[in-house]
Amino acid sequence: MAMIGKSSFLLFFLLSALACTARGQALSPSFYSRTCPSLQFIVSSVMTTAVQRDPRMGASILRLFFHDCFVNGCDGSVLLDDTPWLIGEKNAGGNRNSLRGFEVIDAIKASVEAACNATVSCADILALAARDGVSLLGGPTWLVDLGRRDGRTASRAAADSNLPASSSSLAGLIGLFGIKGLSPRDLTALSGAHTIGRARCVNFRGHIYADRNIDPSFASFRQLSCPAFGRDDNLAPLDTRSQDLFDNGYYRNLVERRGLMHSDQELYNGGSQDSLVQLYSVSTFDFFRDFVAAMGKMGNIGVLTGRRGEIRLNCRRVN
């Protein structure tokens, strides 16, 4: 398993701490140090069991966090079930038959409630679980800002309009991330999350059949399990080199024109991000450093604090 030295991990922690200071006191890694001191141990324990049982779960929880933060901020709204009076995000176009891991968040929440009743938000649990999913698969670890409150509503329409599509162009991705306060460098670093996980045939079919910026042998190989019509739910690894290892293999794939989805290969297609992709393809340290910084920024998008929002007792429904 690819690893980086202890000094590098120390740097990540220091960078995270400095970033927290710069952003102010609304969120803090020590937010629950007195009210729920066992929180991080509980999250880590449940995540360790879940990832050991199913390594893909690390990617699934990380994706849940992305999709939460990109729709009305990191408020746990992606976890809400639909009700007669609330049409939530789970069945939005980019989420339907795709998001998974809700039962893992439920298990963490149940254990946290048993230890610290009505204290920790589902939004914070999701942020911690995403971090642990990455580190359990060989990626970096970092300090997570805490103190988010849970949203009381969700919006399928907002999910449909705010989530990046697998067919997005580089300009479209840069624009969408920019609206969230994320730079093109953040975009390219966060896209490295595709070093783990799987994608459905329906999301990469266009790239392997119609695009020209793809290695022909790779396209032919992927077509074996993703026909031109049908079998939409067939899965393929986003990173064929090491699908359950969080490393820089994703970027090496892009340099070789072996990105799975159109939006992946857009990062290395003669555009503004080519040099950064090349850097990450040869430097795990640079990728990890920038990924940690970008996760910190993303985790602060549109957060609710204080009296704004609530602490849900059940992550699937408002109190």
- What are the residue ranges in the chain where pLDDT is below 70? 1-25
- Binding site listing: 68, 71, 73, 75, 77, 89, 164, 194-195, 239, 247
Q: Is the whole-model pTM more than 0.85? A: yes
Instruction: Report pLDDT for 145.
Output: 97
- Binding site listing for heme b: 194
- In angstroms and rounded to an integer, the radius of gyration of the C-alpha atoms of the chain is 19
Instruction: Report pLDDT for 94.
Output: 86
Instruction: Report pLDDT for 25.
Output: 45
DSSP secondary structure letter of residue 238: S
262 noted as active-site residue? no
Instruction: Report pLDDT for 19.
Output: 46
- Binding site listing for substrate: 164
Instruction: Report pLDDT for 315.
Output: 98
Q: For 150, list phi and psi in degrees, rounded to 5.
A: -85, 140
pLDDT digits (tens, 9 = 90+) for 131-163: 999 999 999 999 999 999 999 999 999 999 999
SS3 category, 243: coil
Residue 196 makes CB contacts below 8 A (sequence gap 6+) with: 56, 58, 59, 62, 137, 238, 239, 243, 244, 245, 246
Residue 32 makes CB contacts below 8 A (sequence gap 6+) with: 39, 116, 119, 120, 124, 146
d(CA 279, CA 248): 10
- Written as one letter, the residue type at 61 is I
Residue 13 makes CB contacts below 8 A (sequence gap 6+) with: 141, 142, 143
Q: Which of 63, 67, 156, 198 is catalytic?
A: 67
